[in-house]
Every structure is written in structure tokens, then in C-alpha cells.
Structure 1
Amino acid sequence: MASAPLKAQLTDLLNSMFAMDFLDEQFKELQMLEEASGPGFLAEVVTLFCGDAERIISQLSVLLNEPVVDFGKVDANVHQLKGSSSSVGAKRVALVCVKFRNVCQENDKEGCIAALHEIRHEFDELHKKFQTMVQLEQQIQVLDSKQMN
């Protein structure tokens, strides 16, 4: 089992992500779906989430840099980010989105800018961990496929 050390490393990474509240039960649901769908499903979902989140965070930055902020658009983008974060089990990002939406509903530009920085920080931390997870999964798949040959 050449992939055993990598599988242990992946398990440790995921356990630490749960322990640090980066992930919640929804992520476990995705893991079960991967077992049914086959390898690569989770990596694909996580990669799509990260790309979508990057786009939304960039859009939020643009919207908050406008001289007159359209809080409705800001709120709609934060709502979308909260939804996609929740759907992949990105607990800490989703929680910051809730705070962001509350500040947004008060039309507080400075509060929104601070919340955007907090979301950026939480997302960046999660993104690094997701990248490591995807790399480990890919390495495991390569080693497991070589063993089958």
C-alpha cells in the first residue's frame, strides 16, 4: 500500500479542518457522495467552489470600491457566497458571510469592508487547505492506479 502514508496525511488534514471549524457536516455528506460517485468528485466540487468564491470576493471588492455602494448588489453577492460555502461545508466562511450580510443590511460601508477582509482571510486559509487536500487526493489516485497495473 504505497498510498497509505498519503491517506493518513489526508485524514489528519481533514480531521484538523473539522477540529478548527473550517468544515462542517455538509462536507461529510460530500465525502459520502464521493464514495458513491468515484474518486475526483470531491476535488472537482472543491475546485469549483474555490473558483466561484474567488470571483464573488473580487466582485465584492469592486462593489465596495464604488463611490456610492449598491448594498443590494453587495448583499446579493454575499448571499451567493454564503450559499456556496454552506453547500460545500465551508463553515467559517459561511459564518462570516452571515456577519457580512448583517452589516450590509445596515448600509455600513466600513463594516462591509472589514467583513470583506475577514472573508478574504478565512477563504484564503480554507483555499490553502483545500489545495493541499486536492493534491493529496491526486497523489493517492496515481499511486493506487499504479498498484492496480
Structure 2
Amino acid sequence: MNTIVVAQLQRQFQDYIVSLYQQGFLDNQFSELRKLQDEGTPDFVAEVVSLFFDDCSKLINTMSISLERPDNVDFKQVDSGVHQLKGSSSSVGARRVKNVCISFKECCDVQNREGCLRCLQQVDYEYKMLKTKLQDLFNLEKQILQAGGTIPQVDIN
């Protein structure tokens, strides 16, 4: 084990995860999720987040189809998708996705199709950004472990 390399990777990991919180991508729920991961379940967070991203993709696609028809939008179906997305984003700590869902729900409530379309684009953008950033974070974790190190605990508060 090269302790200098491990220390550099650990520092990079700490700085990166702190930046994700500072930029509003993540909230404390992500920290709580990380606490559930241990040696017996080393990929727990990555697996939960992967399921979240799969759900996001499906929900965004379904809502997109629902919003395609300008004269016949099923706002109840869109609202249901937004509700699911908001709940799942809250449970994994995806703060920016959750926040867009709040605005999205408001647009659904007043049946504002244009507002819903804008929110759909924004939620799609935020989900894809978060996915890329968390993939980078998980890759850093793998590098640390492959170098013989341990994943540092990061206190965000």
C-alpha cells in the first residue's frame, strides 16, 4: 500500500463529497444512507443510488410522454410521477432533484403544461448531473479501496 497515494485519494474524496453538499447536490439524508454501509455491504449506497437513477429515468420518460399531448395532458399521472420522484430523491439525499420536484408539483397543481415541461427539463438535467457526480465519487471510493485504503468518514455539518 502506498500511503501517500491513499492519503491523496482520501483527501480528494473528502473535498469532492464536501463540494457536492456545498453545491446543493446532496443533503444530510445522503450522509444517513452512507452510515448504513459497512464492510458487509460495501456497495450498499451505490446500489441504492443505482436503483434511484433507474427509477428517475423511468419516471422522467413516463412524465415526458404524458406531457407530449398539449390538448390532453394527464396532470394526475404527471403529479403522481413527480410525487414518486420527490419521495425517492428525498430518501437518497438528492437535494437539487427534490427541490425541482417541489416547483414541478406546483405547476401540476395549476395544470401549467409549459411550467411542467420546464421543470421536466430541469429535473432531467439535475438527475443527470447528480448521476455523473456520484459515479465519480464511487470511482474515487474504488480507487481508495484498490490502493489498500479505507473510505474516510466525512462530517458535513
Q: 2 CA distance for matches of 1:119 and 1:142? A: 34
- Preserved CA contact (<8 Å) 1:85 1:94: yes
Higher deviation after alignment, 77-86 or 5-14: 5-14
Q: 2 CA distance for matches of 1:36 and 1:90? A: 24
Per-residue CA deviation, residues 45-80 of structure 1 (Å, 9 max, x unaligned), is: 111111111111111111111341100000000100
TM-score if structure 2 supplies the norm length? 0.85
Amino acid across the alignment from 1:49: F
Whether 1:20 aligns to 2:23 is yes
Q: Aligned residue for 1:69?
A: 73
Q: Aligned residue for 1:98?
A: 102
Whether 1:46 aligns to 2:62 is no
Amino acid across the alignment from 1:100: F
- What secondary structure, in the 3-state scheme, does the structure 2 residue paired with 1:3 have? helix
Q: Aligned residue for 1:9?
A: 12
Q: Aligned residue for 2:113?
A: 109
Amino acid across the alignment from 1:24: D
Amino acid across the alignment from 1:16: S
The number of residues matched between the two structures is: 145
Q: Which runs of 5+ in 1 are unaligned?
A: none
Identity of aligned residues (%): 43
CA displacement at 1:36 relative to structure 2: 7.0
TM-score if structure 1 supplies the norm length? 0.89
Q: Aligned residue for 1:31?
A: 34
- Preserved CA contact (<8 Å) 1:26 1:87: yes
Q: Which runs of 5+ in 2 are unaligned?
A: 150-157
